Amino acid sequence: MKKVWAIVRRELVERVRTKAFLIGTFLLPVFIVGMMVVPTLLMSGTARTKRIAIVDGTSQRIGAQVQAGLGAQTFSRDGEELPRYDIAVVGAAGRVEAVRDSLVALTGFARDEMPTGLDGVLVLTDATVDAGDATYLGGDAGSLEGVGELRRALSSVLMQTRLSNAGVDPAIVGRALMPADLETRKVTDGRLTGESGGASFALAYAMGILLYFGIFFYGQQTATSVIEEKNSRIMEVLASSLTPFEMLLGKIVGVGLTGLLQLGIWGGVLYLALSRRAELAGLFGADPNAVASLALPSFPPDLLVIFLLYFVLGFLIYGALFAAVGSMVNTVQEMQQFLFPVMMLIIFAFFGMFAVLNDPTAGLGVTFSFIPFFAPIVMPVRWSMASVPIGELALSLTGMVVGVLAVAWFAGRIYRTGILMYGKKPTVREVLRWIKAG
């Protein structure tokens, strides 16, 4: 055991010392936060009221209604509500093209020092009311968001106009079309939690992704590390001091602990960030009260235990498979081919997670939560989505432990022969012979 610990410690220490680990641990969260924060900062800095002229060529003069509809739109900058559009309506019945062309000449010069400058020109004709045809001419005509905003406002005004034309009160239709607002709250063990259904889904989804990538990424590291040991020929020295099973165990536990450490650092940072989110929001210029009152999914301690338990068991089972694959080949390129079956298993598990997200109480998801190769990803997601009977959890965990032992036995036999094999990669028949050999 002391020797296994030496292997574990070497794996952990040497891995944590690498630049890749430092970069992965500290830059990845910075990168993710940056991806979320930067676009918001960029957009909030540039948003301003847009000046639009409506060229109203309709016989019904709907320009004023469109002006009212668009004029109600607002956006916030530095905590201040500002109108999104500053609209002027130009009546142009019969001479649409001439008015339009004269206004286009001003478009693109909407600056404070040019009070007559415009961002764009919206042209409405009778065809607008009849068939919905309208034209927008503007410097921002390529902006998906800006044009979408305009289209929604225009559609709503057109609908009201058409309803009025048909003699229907738009207010009645508005009330009739009001959607149901279904509030969802999660119940766990007969108690109402503060969690909304959406938050519970988001948490389960995030956890599933984390398990998937964690097992996948660190599993692959186990395989490449075995290949490195084969190539550097250190394997033979180790094989003279430890049994192949001890080497396999030390390697998987060492790499797995590195993964747990990284997850732990991320989890800790996330916890700190969330518990001090009001102060952090203040730093970024956002409203601390609004951020503090955001509903966050609760992460109960039992879920944390289940998550860690399945991460560890899942890593043991997949780590052993990955190590066995690494022992069979000589280069990372060769590894890809043998990795395929292992990757299929993880991908199936990942699909199983969607089955659970869809219906955590029945069907394929429940079946998958008892299969050792799938349970590591499926069961924690199921646990967080719905209440799982303790008997089913026990069955799933027992299955996992049996699965880990069985896979370790097979992987150990492949590893034992594979680590000292150089040269050509083995055929499936040869690998089966390695497993059978006493």
Partner 1 sequence: MTAPAVLLEGVTKRFSGHVAVRDLSLEVPVGGIFGLLGPNGAGKSTTIRMIMEIYLADEGRIELFGTPHGARTLSDRLGYLPEERGLYKKMKVVDQLVFLGETKGIAHGEARKRANEWLDRLGLGEWKQKKIEDLSKGMQQKAQFAGTLLHDPDLVILDEPFSGLDPVNSQVMKDVVVELARRGKTVLFSTHIMEQAERMCDRIVIIARGRKIVDGAVGDIKREAGGKHVALTFSHDKDRAARVLADRAIVAKLDDYGASAEVELADGAQEEALLAAPGREGVGLTRLEVVEPSLQSIFIAKVGADAATAARSEEVAA
Residue ranges that bind partner 1, judged by CB under 8 A: 2-3, 6-7, 9-10, 14, 18, 229, 232-243, 420
Considering beta carbons, is residue 101 or 236 the nearer one to partner 1?
A: 236
CB of 238 to partner 1, least distance (A): 7
Considering beta carbons, is residue 38 or 234 the nearer one to partner 1?
A: 234
What is the rounded CA–CA span in Å between residue 41 and residue 56?
A: 36
Query: Cα–Cα distances in Å, from 105 out to 109, 112, 116, 139?
Result: 9, 17, 11, 12
User: Smallest Cα–Cα separation from 55: which of 144, 159, 137, 175?
Assistant: 137
CB of 260 to partner 1, least distance (A): 22
Considering beta carbons, is residue 7 or 342 the nearer one to partner 1?
A: 7
- For 130, phi then psi, to 5°, come to -70, -50
What is the rounded CA–CA span in Å between residue 158 and residue 163?
A: 9
CB of 404 to partner 1, least distance (A): 23
CB of 261 to partner 1, least distance (A): 19
What is the rounded CA–CA span in Å between residue 248 and residue 324?
A: 9
CB of 26 to partner 1, least distance (A): 20
Considering beta carbons, is residue 77 or 433 the nearer one to partner 1?
A: 433
CB of 219 to partner 1, least distance (A): 21
Considering beta carbons, is residue 208 or 418 the nearer one to partner 1?
A: 418
3-state secondary structure of 112: coil
Strands 191-196 and 185-188: antiparallel
CB of 353 to partner 1, least distance (A): 36
Strands 120-124 and 134-138: antiparallel
Considering beta carbons, is residue 389 or 423 the nearer one to partner 1?
A: 423
Give buried/exposed letters for 245-260 (b at 16+ CB in 10 A, else e): bbbbbbbbbbbbbbbb
* Residue with token string 């008015």: 99
Residues in the chain: 438
Considering beta carbons, is residue 7 or 339 the nearer one to partner 1?
A: 7
